[in-house]
Amino acid sequence: MAPRSSTRPRGRPTRRRLAGTVATLALASSLLAACGGDGDKPELVWYINPDSGGQAAIAEDCSTDEYTITTQVLPQDASQQRIQLARRLAAKDPEIDLMSLDPPFTAEFADAGFLAPVPQETLQQLEDQGTFQGALDAATWNDELVVFPFWSNTQVLWYRKSFVEKAGIDMSQPVTWEQIIKAASDNGGKIGVQANKYEGYVVWINALIESAGGQILEDASAGVDAKITIQDEPGEVAAKIIEDLASSSAAPSDLSVSNEGTAGSTFGSDQGSFLVNWTYIFHNYDDTAPDVAKDIGYARYPQAVEGEESRPPYGGIGIGVSEYSDQKDLALEAAACLVEPEQQGKNAEMTGNMPASTAGYDYPALADIYPEDLLQLFQESVNAAAPRTVTPYWSDVSSSIQATWHPPATVDSDTPPSSETFIEEILKGRKLL
Amino acid sequence: MSTTIATEPQAGKGKESRPVVSDRSAAENRLGLKLVAPAVILMLLVTAWPMIQALYLSLFRYRLTAPDDREFIGIDNYVTVLTDSLFWRDTWNTLLIMVVTVAVELVVGFAFAMVMHRIVFARGLMRTSILIPYGIITVVSAFAWQFAFSLNNGFVNSWFSWLPWITADTNWYGDHWPAMFAIMVSEIWKTTPFMALLLLAGLAQVSEDMLEAAKVDGATWWQRLTKVILPNMRAAIMVAVLFRALDAYRIFDNIFVMTRGAQDTESISFLTYRQVIEQMQLGLGSALSVLLFLSVLLLAWLIVKLFKVDLAQARGEG
| Model confidence band, residue A370 (pLDDT cutoffs 50, 70, 90) | very high
Chain B residues touching A254 at Cβ < 8 A: 151-152, 171, 174
Bridging pattern class, strands B71-72 and A217-218: unpaired
pLDDT tens sequence across A124-157: 999 999 999 889 988 999 899 999 999 998 999 9
Give, in words, the CATH class of A154-313+389-427: alpha beta
CB contact under 8 A, B81 and A432: yes
Strand partners, B278: none
Is residue A8 pLDDT above 60, yes or no? no
pLDDT of residue A129: 95
Between these two residues, B83 and B311, which has the higher pLDDT value? B83
| Model confidence band, residue B124 (pLDDT cutoffs 50, 70, 90) | confident
Domains A43-152+315-384 and A154-313+389-427 share a fold: yes
Tell me the shortest Cα–Cα distance from B277 to chain A, in angstroms: 7
pLDDT tens sequence across A100-121: 999 999 999 999 999 999 999 9
Matching CATH number, A43-152+315-384, of 2.60.120.10, 3.40.190.10, 3.40.50.720, 3.40.50.620: 3.40.190.10
pLDDT tens sequence across A206-243: 999 999 999 999 988 888 889 999 999 999 999 999 99
Q: Are A98 and A148 in contact (CB under 8 A)?
A: no
pLDDT of residue B108: 96
**CB nearest to B65's CB, from A86, A253, A407:** A86
Tell me the shortest Cα–Cα distance from B275 to chain A, in angstroms: 7
Is the overall model pTM greater than 0.80, yes or no?
A: no
The residues spanned by each domain of chain A are 43-152+315-384, 154-313+389-427
CA angle in degrees (0–180, nearest 5) for A15-A21-A24: 140
CB contact under 8 A, A257 and B262: yes
CB contact under 8 A, B152 and A198: no
Domains of chain B, CATH where assigned: 76-202+228-314 (1.10.3720.10)
CB contact under 8 A, A253 and B61: no
Tell me which chain A residue has its CA closest to the CA of residue B169: A253
Q: What is the mean pLDDT of chain A?
A: 90
Chain A residues touching B61 at Cβ < 8 A: 429
